[in-house]
Structure 1
Amino acid sequence: MQSLYEWDFNHSAAEAAGELVKRNIVDFAADFDDNGFAERLVKGVVKHLEEINSLIIEYAPEWPLDQITTVDRNVLRIGIFELKFSGGEIPPKVAINEAIELAKTFGGESSGKFVNGVLGTIYKKMLEKGEAIITEEKHGQRNEQPPTVSMPE
């Protein structure tokens, strides 16, 4: 999140994203044990940025992309990347719940609800279109239904 925030805030070139991740891991999380995941996530968001941004614009039509806070915009980008482009590495419910928690922790008062509404709606549409990757979760339960979402007011 830190790396995407910094990359977006500074309007950095796409190539800079990987270096930001490496630097931020050294500076802020030297004991982080999954550097590869963090780097794949940031590079993946940057690689698919145009499509991810299009989804944000489509599913948050009252909020022009440049008016969404930098935190919320990048939390949405992470969540959408994990839902659509992670190849099922992250179960959809986990991706959405993690994004909501990031929004609550680093965003504003209504960030969690906003992120929940946008990602929940995107995931429901993915299921309707047959785009959602169905993943096996713990205890043999299938993850076929979208998480319960409450739409922002």
Structure 2
Amino acid sequence: MSELTAPRPPRQPRKGMTSTGARKAASKSGRSRAREFALQALYQHIVSGNDATAIDHFTRDLAGFHKADAAHYDALLHGCISTAQDLDALIEPKLDRKLTDISPIEHAVMWIGVYEFLHCMDVPWRVVLNECIELAKEFGGTDGHKYVNGVLNGLAPQLRALEVAADKKRGPESDLDSEPAPAQD
């Protein structure tokens, strides 16, 4: 066989990951699952403009919803939709293009991140950032997670100033330029 046609050995998945790089379902927390379902629901809202209640009923019937943290899902879905203009007002100054040019998936992921920065103080900012990056990797475009990371990393010092400042004081492992280590909340 020539060098170009020689079969490659199969790629071994990382521990806790599927062959596509997504986290295995068993390793996801209820809140991680809630974010996934909220992302799907918010995507529907952004694309179709459907009512939050109708989207909510549809989403709750999806397979696996019973494993999600329903209270966190409710907060994300209804909170993001009811404060969408405020969330967009925070996101837009960090963009290098019009908000309408952003993928609906990345838009919804940014809504989730900004909403959690503002309203879920029990979730550390690095966990919010990491979870949103993972959502964008799993559901978004090829490099969408990098864009989400840049926008949310730019908003974190503004929205979680004390927490980010405390991390900076701890040293280089808390540097905002590095991608956060995977964390579960």
Q: 2:88, 2:150 → 1: CA distance?
A: 16
Match of 1:81 among 115, 125, 140: 115
Report the alpha carbon displacement of residue 147 of structure 1 after superposing the two structures with TM: 5.8
Q: 2:47, 2:110 → 1: CA distance?
A: 15
Residue type matched to 2:40 in 1?
Answer: Q
What whole-Å deviation, never above 9, does each CA across 1:65-97 have from its counterpart, x for those lacking one?
A: 1100010111111011011122x0321100010
What whole-Å deviation, never above 9, does each CA across 1:83-120 have from its counterpart, x for those lacking one?
A: 1122x032110001000000111111111110110000
Residue type matched to 1:113 in 2?
Answer: K
Report the alpha carbon displacement of residue 57 of structure 1 after superposing the two structures with TM: 0.8
Report the alpha carbon displacement of residue 20 of structure 1 after superposing the two structures with TM: 1.5
Q: 1:73, 1:56 → 2: CA distance?
A: 9
Bigger Rg, which one: 2
Structure 1 runs not aligned, ≥5 long: 136-141
Q: 2:166, 2:40 → 1: CA distance?
A: 29
- For the aligned residue pairs, the C-alpha RMSD in angstroms reads 2.3
* Residue 61 of structure 2 corresponds to residue 26 of structure 1: yes
Residue equivalent to 1:148: 176
Identity rate, percent: 25
Q: 1:119, 1:38 → 2: CA distance?
A: 20
- Matched-pair contact (CA < 8 Å) for 2:87–2:114: yes
- Matched-pair contact (CA < 8 Å) for 2:167–2:175: no
* Residue 151 of structure 2 corresponds to residue 118 of structure 1: yes
SS at match of 1:125: helix
SS at match of 2:87: helix
Query: Normalising by structure 1, what TM-score?
Result: 0.77
Q: 2:68, 2:104 → 1: CA distance?
A: 26
The number of residues matched between the two structures is: 135
Q: 1:35, 1:143 → 2: CA distance?
A: 31
What whole-Å deviation, never above 9, does each CA across 1:113-150 have from its counterpart, x for those lacking one?
A: 101100001012335xx4x5x49xxxxxx964476336
* Residue 49 of structure 2 corresponds to residue 39 of structure 1: no
Q: 1:23, 1:64 → 2: CA distance?
A: 30
SS at match of 2:66: coil
Query: Normalising by structure 2, what TM-score?
Result: 0.65
Residue equivalent to 2:41: 3
Structure 2 runs not aligned, ≥5 long: 1-38, 169-173, 179-185
Residue equivalent to 1:72: 106
Correspondences of 1:48-67 after superposition (within 5 Å): 48-60=83-95, 62-67=96-101
What whole-Å deviation, never above 9, does each CA across 1:31-63 have from its counterpart, x for those lacking one?
A: 324212101111111121111101111111x22
